Every structure is written in C-alpha cells, then in structure tokens.
Amino acid sequence: MQRRFRITRSIIPNVFTLMNLFSGFNAIVQISAGHYWAAAGFIVLAAVFDMLDGMVARLIKATSELGVELDSLCDAVSFGVAPSFLIYHAYFAQFQAWGVVVSALPALAGVFRLARFNVQLTDFEDKRYFVGMPIPSAALTLLAYVLFYDQAGLIPDPWRTAAFLAVTAILSALMASTIRFFSIPKLSKQGIREYPFRFAFLVFGTIVVIVSKGVLLFPVMVLYILASVIRHTIDRLRRWKELDDEEVAGPFDL
C-alpha cells in the first residue's frame, strides 16, 4: 500500500527558513565575486527570513523540533559562514593560513552558540535575554564594520589589522560567552508596556540606521553590546553581594 504524502502546516515556516539558507548561499557567491554590497543585501534578507519563520510558526501554531534544528543549520551558514568568508575575502586572505584561522572565528563561535542554545532550549527559559550574543546580531555588526568603516577607508592603514582583529575576536567571544543580551521586545502593547526602554531603543536605532543609510548601524550595535554587558555585570555584582551578605549573616542569625 502506498503512503500518501501529507502537507502539514509546519512546511510554511520551514520554507521561510530555507529561504534564509538560500540567501546566505547567495551571499557567499557574491562575496567570492567581490560584490560585497550585493552580499550584504542577501545577508540582511536572510535576517528578514530568519525573523519571519518564527513569527509565522507562532502565528499558525506550527512550531516543531524540526523547525528549531533547521533554523540553526540555516543560521550557521547565513550568519556564521557567510560573514567569516566576507572578512577573509575582504582582508584576511593576505595572511594565508593565519588569515583562515582568524576568519573562521565568527563561524566557529556562532555554531557553538547555536548548538548550546538548542541543547538548553526549554519552555521555562528566560525569554527576556539571550545567553551569548545572537549570531544574526553579530553578523550584522561585522557586516556594518566591513562595509561602512573598513571598505569606506575610515580606518587608517596602520590600524586596519588591529581593528579587524579586535572586532572579529570580540564578536566571536561575545557569541561564545554566557553574557545575557537583551532580547527584542514583541511589537505589541504588552511588549511595549513590559520593556518601554528596549522598545524606545529599537525605534531610535531603526530610525538612526535608516536616516544614516546604514552608516550608523555599527555604532548602534556597539551601544546594544555595551548596554547588555553593563547590565549583565551589574546583575552579577548584585548577586555576589547578596551571597556575601548571606555568608556574613550566617545560617542561624536573625
């Protein structure tokens, strides 16, 4: 007896996810031809599909474990491999073997973060934060630096290597870290009420990036990183202080 092929609702968000991968692949093709702006467009398009697949899945109630795994595999290419190949092709290729090693750092750290996220994913996770810098955010930050600062000639030649190394290493470390990064609030009345400052920053950042035609995307992402790191540091210091206070008081003290 032949089994019928059944189309389920989950295929709809999965199509968006695969379009994310297709965009990432096209970005790599454009980078290999030296068309960095076209590649940037495909990486941004991949980010749009990455955002849409989750929204569509929740909207039609078609979330699945397959969708989660597929999303991570596609993100690994679009926001890990493609940006790593971009910095290799744009600058690090001249250093040969060492250039390959350094260029691979964002891809390696990004894939590690995605795997950790999948392993730790539960219904009880704190959705207010991301553990480690999200790989799409790191990819956009790296992309903005390459296009609007390095390729635009704003970085003096004597500083190019140090600047490229610093940006690459810091973003890779942030992805692999356990620093809690602010999550994007839902675009709803409830989301605005719960996180007014995050929503205000999102609106402000979007307007600034659009008005500047992308030039200020890198500074906006740096502000996002700094705000998350500072908040995480304050939370850790507060927790350590509470633990110290408990130890000083002793278990039987009133």
Determine the Cα–Cα distance for residues 226 and 212; give it in Å rounded to an integer: 21
Contacts of 190 (CB under 8 A, 6+ apart): none
Mind giving me the DSSP string for 8-31? -TTHHHHHHHHHHHHHHHHHHHHH
| Closest CA relative to residue 167, chosen from 142, 139, 134 | 142
d(Cα 181, Cα 161) in Å, to the nearest integer? 28
Task: Please enumerate in sequence order all residues whose Cβ is within 8 A of that of 10, keeping only pairs 6 or more positions apart, or say none.
Answer: 57, 62, 63, 64, 66, 67
Phi, psi of 57 (to 5 degrees): -60, -40
Distances (CA, A) of 98 to 17, 77, 83, 190: 33, 22, 17, 49
Q: Is 103 exposed, middle or buried (0-12, 13-18, 19+ CB in 10 A)?
A: buried
The reported pLDDT for the residue numbered 1 is: 45
The tens place of each residue's pLDDT in the chain, 254 residues long, gives: 455 545 566 688 888 999 999 999 999 999 999 999 999 999 999 999 998 887 887 787 767 778 888 999 999 999 999 999 999 999 999 999 999 999 999 999 999 999 998 888 765 455 678 899 999 999 999 999 999 999 888 899 999 999 999 999 999 999 999 999 988 766 666 667 777 788 888 888 999 999 999 899 999 999 999 999 999 999 888 888 777 666 555 444 43
pLDDT score of 217: 94
- If we measure between CA atoms, which residue out of 51, 69, 56 comes closest to residue 11? 56
Burial class (CB in 10 A: 0-12, 13-18, 19+), 24: buried
For the chain, domains (ranges, CATH) are: 11-183+216-249 (1.20.120.1760)
Q: Please compute Rg for the chain using Cα positions.
A: 21
Q: Whole-structure pTM over 0.85, yes or no? A: yes
